[in-house]
A and B are shown apart, each in its own frame.
Chain A
Amino acid sequence: MADVMAYCDPQSAAPGETIRFMVSCVGAAEYRAEIVRLRSPQGPPDAPPFREEVVETVANGSYPGRRQEIQIGSWARVPASPLFNGLDSFTLQAMVWPTTPGRGRQALLGTWSAPVAGGVGLGLGPDGDLEVRLGDGAGGIATLASGQPLQSRRWYLVAASFDAGTGRLALLQRPLADKTFHAHRTVVTDMETGVRPAAGDGPFLFAAWRDDGPFGIGGFYNGKIDRPRLAGRALTPAEIEALAGDAIPAALADAVVAAWDFSRDIGGETIRDLSANRLDGETVNMPARAMTGCNWDGSEHDWTRAPGQYGAIHFHDDDLDDARWEADFSLTVPEDWPSGCYAARLRADGAEFHVPFFVRAPRGRATADVAYLAATATYTVYTNNLARFTGDHVELYQGRLTVMDETDMLLPRHPELGLSTYDRHSDGSGVCYSTRLRPATNVRPTGRLWNYCADLFIVDWLDRSGVGYDVITDEDLHRDGQELLDRYRVVVTGSHPEYDSKAMLDALDGWLRGGGRLMYLGGNGFYWRIAYHPRKPGLIEVRRSEGGLRAWIAEVGEYHHSFTGEYGGLWRRQNRAPNALCGVGFISQGFDASSHYRRTAASHDPRVAFMFAGIEDEILGDFGALQGGASGLELDCYDEKLGSPPHALIVAASEAHSNTYMLVPEEVAIPHGASDGVQNAGIRADMVFFETPGGGAVFSTGSIAYAGSLGHDDFDNNIARLTSNVLKRFVDATPFELPGAAS
């Protein structure tokens, strides 16, 4: 079977705008591309049928298959300069915090070129000790190693110096005092060599060396580098120590060729040289910035207030910010295409790959009263979630066997596709950046019914409702703000709109205050704060900081986004719990079985009579394609302390959840054991309605599984009826009145 993988850019486009598709096809001479409109997901037999309709366009056709490679792994480079390539004597030094010493040779810094064995490279040796290599490019190589492996996650001052006059090559490896106890001592060693380095005319690199692979780069390093320096002569150990300070000592100014300060321009890709030579460079593939440096003392957690303590960059051999593929074909959205969910469907030799994209309304206007908000931020954050299949504890918290399909298996077969922010890097540190500029194996209308795929259940219901709708995306909302929402009376969310930037929340809040009507048809929404990269579209940052249900836990002191300086983590920790926006907030998750809602007395309040028109049942949603019930997977409940409006009506609440449903950690201050769905009545989804001061209203279901119940029995069921009742009333321009406002 062939491997076909692709992505597109942009992900949402208005009529007249062009989307480019980047494809890699291995194992087949050609592939067939067709643009499809997606109206429902591929679900289980009892769900509505899979509907993907081929749309006629000149983009449809057969294209030659070709392999496109991805360079994964981050590094940094300074363009070639005679200032370092012409050095005879030198000192290379840095503070380093390695995370995988012993996992083969790794580059720290230098001009080393593996293909010609030339230049100078300071790095970690095969066994994790400090190593320097000199090469003359003509077969002469000198190698000196410290012989003492560095410990993982400990700061060291490391340096190599060379005096071309004497041929003396020296190494210094000193562990920094860090209030822990260990048996490591400073290592100073030297040798004499007749080899004289010949750097050629290449760049100066950090965390990589020049190699002869397809991208000319290799030797990736895992760990932090702080305050790297290059001097034009062999410094003494005392001079090396002096140069490791914050500023360049005046006595060494003449000797210094470059003194990079990674605490400058933390939000960008530039690395700054403080020396008079201004040997600035750039990072590649988005290594983590705003990382605590060797001098971080715990007194300040916000890098914008103490940038000098955040001079470290954490490089990873599996960082990726952009696959950087060439386009294979493109699509200019015709003027007459309705807004909706579309995809390029690629097929070759038995393999199939979908590349979803969204057609929005013509710029500056709406074509309907209703907007469906596609959760593209959440899709990007989840993109290529490898740990979903490989984590030791997945089956425990899922409460069921792990299921994969052919497309899922592309991910472990192609690690160059990069990771999601649900993963850890190969060194165990959390992945805090994710990009949509790469193939996504888990954003598609097939496979696991989750996020994009499950959201198509809602699209299907909306499509059949007969009420017209436009599609807008999280990224559109972030960029366009409230002005985009102001064109619509109703916004319908997907099943799990978990991630929001401040701009997105501000837009939703402002629009609601102006009379907007929000149908939040999901669970665990509006939970995490994200930052979009201000200049690189499609790139998102998440810091899994001090609270919440976390796939990894950010290192102490690394809670602020590098992109923006904002404190990352849960919106709940920033006085913007989801409860304030939509009435409910995350309380529990479980994945083995879904349950039902039971109506409350409040459901008979005249304020919600419209909602229950034609519904006599007390039990709602005891059916559905997402594990058999409307309440399941991830659940939200009402909590006035977190901002749920006091006048909100809880019209239904779920019950009878299973053992795998556990309270979220932010609700368990003291572990008490009665934290699962069997024992804890607090674990439930609350279905909530409330009016807003501007004549608008909010309806929230608080459950991801809700989406899977809409289509049950051909949409003839109490969940579909209730939801359609809400939609019909929300589309009606008649203002909602706050309870008690008339008196």
Chain B
Amino acid sequence: MTVRQLPPGIDATRLDLAREFRARPFGAHSGDLQHLLNVMRGLPIANKHVLVMTEPHRQWTLAEMTGQPPLPRLLSNQVFHSLEEAEWHVFKLRWRELTGAPLEID
């Protein structure tokens, strides 16, 4: 199964979706946000962002999967103290990757 890239209706102007995600990264989402998240989360495993739990249930470090079998390569300057914070950071990275523009949001 391949998730369609950049489906119709998803574009860099839909800052409402970013705000919706920031407010509630886990839980029920609008249909358009879920569509965008499916694109983001359906990216192939190569170079995909993951988290390495560097302190049990208290600290997570950003990493990306590299090699075969894929192993996380730590991006040690990105450390999070909540999973919500990590989700928002990766959302912004993927937004930029998919739309070609940085997510600029108040």
Contacts and interface: CB of A to CB of B under 8 A. Distances in A.
Interface string B5-40: 000000000000000000001111100001001100
Residue picked from A395, A409, A447, A678, most chain B C-beta under 10 Å: A395
B56 interface: yes
Interface of B: 1, 3, 25-29, 34, 37-38, 41-42, 44-45, 48-54, 56-58, 60, 63, 65, 69-72, 83, 86-87, 90
Contact of B34 (A389, A392, A393, A659): A659
A691 interface: no
Contacts of A656: 28
Contacts of B58: 44-45
Contacts, number: 88
The size bracket of the interface on A is 35 or more
Contacts of B57: 42-45
A404 interface: yes
A412 B86 contact: no
Contacts of B54: 405
A390 B45 contact: yes
B83 A400 contact: yes
Most chain B CB within a 10 A radius of its CB, from A386, A396, A678: A396
B51 A404 contact: yes
Contacts of B49: 401
A658 B26 CA distance: 8
Contact of B53 (A45, A404, A413, A627): A404
Given A45-B57, A389-B50, A401-B86, 4 more contacts: A400-B83, A405-B52, A593-B26, A593-B27
Most chain A CB neighbours (cut-off 10 Å) among B25, B26, B60: B26
10 contacts: A44-B58, A386-B69, A402-B50, A403-B50, A404-B53, A409-B52, A446-B56, A658-B29, A677-B28, A678-B28
Interface string A42-86: 111100000000000000000000000000000000000000000
Interface string A439-457: 0000000110000000000
Interface of A is mostly: loop
Contacts of A400: 25-26, 83, 87
Interface of A: 42-45, 386, 389-393, 395-396, 399-405, 409, 412-413, 415, 446-447, 592-593, 627-628, 656-659, 677-678
Contacts of A404: 50-53, 63, 72
Given A401-B51, A401-B83, A404-B53, A392 B28 contact: no
Contacts of B34: 659
A658 B28 contact: yes
B91 to A, nearest CB: 10
Nearest to A42: B56
A395 B71 contact: no
B41 A395 contact: yes
Nearest to A401: B51
A677 B52 CA distance: 29
Nearest to A390: B70
A594 to B, nearest CB: 9
A328 to B, nearest CB: 27
A659 B20 CA distance: 14
Contacts of A42: 56-57
A392 B50 contact: no
A389 B48 contact: no
A551 to B, nearest CB: 14
Given A401-B51, A409-B71, A396 B42 contact: yes
In the complex, which of the residues A44, A386, A401, A404 has the most CB atoms of chain B within 10 Å of its own CB atom?
A401
A404 B54 CA distance: 9
Given A392-B42, A393-B42, A404-B72, A399 B48 contact: no
A412 B69 contact: yes
A623 B21 CA distance: 21
Contacts of A677: 28
Nearest to B60: A403
Contact of A396 (B25, B38, B71, B87): B38
A659 B28 contact: yes
A389 B68 CA distance: 12
A659 B51 CA distance: 22
A320 to B, nearest CB: 15
Contacts of A402: 48, 50-51
Contacts of B87: 400-401
B69 A405 contact: no
Contacts of B69: 386, 390, 412, 415
Nearest to B2: A392
B60 A412 contact: no
B92 to A, nearest CB: 13
Contacts of A44: 57-58
Contacts of B29: 658-659
Given A392-B44, A396-B41, A403 B53 contact: yes
Nearest to A46: B57
Contacts of A593: 26-27
Contacts of B86: 401
